Structure 1
Amino acid sequence: MEKGNSDTSLPVALIVGVTGMVGLSLAEALKKPTEFSLSPEGKFPWKVYGVARRPLPTWFPPSLLDHFISLDVLDQTDTIQKLTPISNQVTHVFWVALQIREAEEANITVNSTMLANVLDVLKSASPSRLRHVSLQTGTKHYMGPIFDPQLADQLVHHEPPFEEHLPRLPYPNFYYALEDLVASYSPSISYSVHRSSIIIGASSRSFYNCLLTLSVYATICRHKGLPFKYPGSKYTWEHFCDMTDARVLAEQHIWAAVTDTAKNQAFNCSNGDVFTWKSLWKVLCEVFDVEFVDFDENESFDWAEMKDKGKVWDEIVKKYGLFKTKMEDITCFDATNMVLHLKLQHVCSMNKSREFGFSGFADTFKSIRMWVGRLRDMKIIP
Structure 2
Amino acid sequence: MKKENSSDASVALIVGITGLAGFSLAEALQKPTTPGRPWKVYGIARRPLPIWFPAFLVDGFISLDALDCADTANKLSPVAHEITHVFWVSMQHHGNEEVNISMNSTMLANVLNALKSTAPSRLRHVTLLTGTKHYMGPIFDPSLRGQLVHQEPPFKEDLGRLPYPNFYYALEDLVASYLPSITHSVHRSSIIIGASSRSLNNTLLTLSVYATICRYQGLPFRYPGNKYTWEHFCDVSDARMLAEQQIWAAVTEGAKNQAFNCTNGDVFTWKSLWGVLCEVFDVEFVAFEENEEKFDWLGMIKGKGKVWDEIVEKFGLFETKMEDITCFEALNVGLHFGFQHVCSMNKSRESGFLGFADTLKSIPMWVGRLRDMKIIP
Asked whether the two chains share a fold, i.e. TM above 0.5, the reply is yes
Distance 1:343 1:371, change over 3 A: same
The residue type equivalent to 1:178 in the other structure is L
Residue number in structure 1 paired with 2:372: 377
Q: Does 1:217 align with 2:210?
A: yes
Q: For 1:319, what is the secondary structure of its paired residue?
A: helix
Query: Paired residue for 1:18?
Result: 17
**1:326 paired residue among 316, 321, 326:** 321
List, as ranges, runs of 4+ consecutive aligned residues in structure 1 with deviation greater than 4 Å: none
1:112 and 2:105 equivalent?
yes
Alpha-carbon distance between aligned partners in 1 of 2:34 and 2:375, rounded to the nearest angstrom = 31
For structure 1, list consecutive stretches of 5 or more residues without a partner in the other structure: 40-44
1:239 alignment counterpart: 232
Q: Write out aligned runs for 1:61-80 (5 A).
A: 61-80=54-73
Look up the match of 2:349: 354
Match of 1:154, SS?
Answer: coil
Describe the SS at the equivalent of 1:134: strand
Alpha-carbon shift at residue 307 of structure 1 (Å) = 1.6
Distance 1:299 1:353 in 2: 43
Structure 2 residue aligned with 1:340, among 326, 330, 335? Answer: 335
Question: Is residue 2:56 matched to residue 1:57?
Answer: no
**2:128 corresponds to:** 135
State whether residues 5 and 82 of structure 2, in contact with CA within 8 Å, keep that contact through their aligned partners in structure 1: no
- 1:283 deviates by 0.3
RMSD: 0.8
**What is the alpha-carbon distance in structure 2 between the residues aligned to residue 90 and residue 304 of structure 1?**
47
Query: TM-score, normalising length from structure 2?
Result: 0.98
Please name the residue that 1:42 is paired with: none
Identical aligned pairs, as a percentage? Answer: 74
CA deviation after TM superposition for structure 1 residue 299, in Å: 2.9
SS in 1 for 2:77: helix
Is 1:200 matched up with 2:200?
no
Q: Are 1:301 and 2:295 an aligned pair?
A: yes
1:316-355 deviation per Cα after TM superposition (whole angstroms, max 9, x unaligned): 0000000000000000000110110011100000000000
Q: Offset at 1:6?
A: 3.8
Partner of 1:34: 33
Deviation at 1:70, TM superposition (A): 0.6
TM-score by length of 1: 0.96
Structure 2 unpaired stretches of 5+? none
Paired position in structure 2 for 1:258? 251
C-alpha distance in 2 between matches for 1:7 and 1:104: 42
Work out the number of aligned pairs and report it: 372
Matched, 1:289 2:288: no
Secondary structure at 2:172 match in 1:
helix
Quote the Cα distance in structure 2 between the aligned partners of 1:35 and 1:287.
31
Alpha-carbon displacement from aligned partner over 1:189-212 (angstroms, at most 9, x marks no partner): 100000000100000010011100
